[in-house]
Amino acid sequence: MLGVASMAGLKASVYSPRVLSPHVADTYSLKTFAEFHRWRDLNGDAKVYEIFQYLIDPRTGIYPMGVPAWEGDEEMSEFAAVREPIKMLNVYPIGHCGTLGPTMAGIMQGMGIGPARTLILPAWNHVASEVFYDARWHYLDLDVRAIFRRADGSLASMAEAQQDASLWNRPNSPDFFPLDALPTVRAVYQKTAVRHYYGHPSGGHTMDFVLRQGETFTRWWKPQGGRWNHHSSYGAEPFPRTLIQQEPRGPKCKHASFTVHAHGNGQFVYRPNLTSKSTDFEDGVYSSQNLAPSSTGLTLRGRGEGHAIFEVRTPYVIAPLVGNLDAASDDREASVVRVDADEATVSLSMDNGLTWKELGPANGTHDLTRHVSGTYGYLLKLALRGEPNTALVRSIEMTTWVQVHPASLPSLRKGRNEMRLITGDHHGLQTRVLEIRPSAARADEFVRHLAEPPKDYDPARRTSRVRGTMTAKVQAPPGSKIAWFSVGASFTTHQREAALNTRNTMAYAAEASEQFEQIYRSEIPADQDHWHFNVDREVKLQKPAGSVLVRYVGDPGLNNLRIYAHCLEDRANAATSVTATHVWIENGLRKSKTVTCDPGAAYVIETESDPVDESISLAISSVLRR
């Protein structure tokens, strides 16, 4: 389907589009999550209780599989296991107490409820969390589903639960150890030691993506043929191998009563019109040199060489069609690129264009699974050499599959559902995100992002890789400037009484200024019981900048860094409509509704009985020139 360009020279892409349902919170970030109508005007125990009920609800909650989600090739769980609240709300319907405890703490702290910590209960080999507000701690347990709630509604702490028998005088319920024998649990809680981990969750991730002309993004509530971000450990033992092999194949909750979901999937399909009849190329290209659309496709402006770079950037982890659980060699279709071209080559970058890997002639089908599976995006370069109209790209199609936590999708309910299409980040800006998240376990990968490398760096020193100062450089993508960013790190800390000697810091300077502004200095509580912690801080610049320097000091040490730069395009954006299509099952019949509307618009879907959500797609048509 083709539309007509409304204004020459304006981009028609839409930034972070999402449909909001009155039944599901906006999980773009913890700032938007905090604005959900069910709790935004509540305080104290009432607020936390409402949030907890949402997070254990079978339709909207986070649920345990019994093992963590893993990202990257790090061996240590401190660096590889996903404890990022926004990823757990949106991407991973998979986790265990060791990741759900920190996730709960991260949600509470990120929403501004108060300081939070992770509780380690050795006698039960269990992990939970506590949040501090109204001058005391409050126990919250996503894994076994438990809070200690008095008759007056107030929420108690772990220490109170160890001492106060009255807190146990109620039956099992959905929010009070629904699957556990209460006398046994109480006996264990009475005698167990409790260790406190601060800063165990990580942060920074947001649900940014750019929907371009000629692109459709579809998400399904149910698995689509066995696509998920697999880890080799899942098949190594009978559990969770047997659980994964149960239909639908893939990750799912280990307790069927906890949720109505397994895992979901999404698919980006980008199919721009590359001819001069359309503005798709100008709208969607990341950057280009000596190329222009012609009547037959993309070609050289002048004799010689030229290139075009296209971006795949997803807030959901890229997921393959998983084959053998014990090896990734037969995984496929994570991201497939089909190109019809003459005299062109294709290259791939996994580090925002700092380095490139040439894949060969562009013409044909390229399955990028082994390169991109388990990541959040890449850059693809089409390079042409020769004469105009001889070196030519007639078409490109990029299809990328992702893993989705279905509880975060805009669900329908029986009756009137007023849906709303919104765009932009939690500052109200139309930004795109640049992610820098290298592994410090790989020296070449890590150092290439640094303007000033550390003098004392040893990737094999896994609990203190960097000692001292280093500086990372963040360069905005072509044609954009950094409006705001989050910086984070995995730091080493002294423990207990020595915690006050921890002096890790983070600071930044915009546009190569030598004046660094400190945004974090360690203040570790004296009951910190772990050598490792995470910290993330957000900075909104007074004026957008082309580049930012981030200075880290590891004292006693730093082990990884992460930076998410949110960038404004230099070119203005045209007012662009998005087409949303909902599909659901009602009384055994498949129904759908398609609405084309501008960002900020509301629309209504009426259902006569409780619907079963199937999919939602967002699309922008290819656009013809006037």
pLDDT at 2: 45
Measured CA distances, 395 to 7, 342, 349, 389 (Å): 24, 11, 21, 14
Domain of 551, in residue numbers: 431-569
pLDDT at 12: 87
Q: Is residue 15 part of a domain?
A: no
pLDDT at 574: 79
149 shares a domain with 279: no
306 shares a domain with 193: no
359 shares a domain with 315: yes
* Listed residues 569, 584, 605: the one ending a domain: 569
CATH of the domain at 67: 3.10.620
Q: Is residue 56 part of a domain?
A: yes
Residues lower than pLDDT 70 in the chain: 1-10
pLDDT at 39: 98
End-to-end CA distance of the chain: 16
**177 with 145: CB under 8 angstroms?**
yes
pLDDT digits (tens, 9 = 90+) for 42-85: 999 999 999 999 999 999 999 999 999 999 989 899 999 999 99
436 shares a domain with 399: no
C-alpha span between 287 and 309 (Å, rounded): 5
268 shares a domain with 399: yes
Number of separate helices (H) and strands (E) present in the chain: 11, 35
**319 with 368: CB under 8 angstroms?**
no
Its sign, for the CA torsion 274, 276, 277, 278, is: positive
Q: Which residues pair with 612 in a beta bridge?
A: 585
175 shares a domain with 37: yes
Element (H, E) at 309: strand 304-313
181 shares a domain with 55: yes
Number of domains present in the structure of the chain: 3
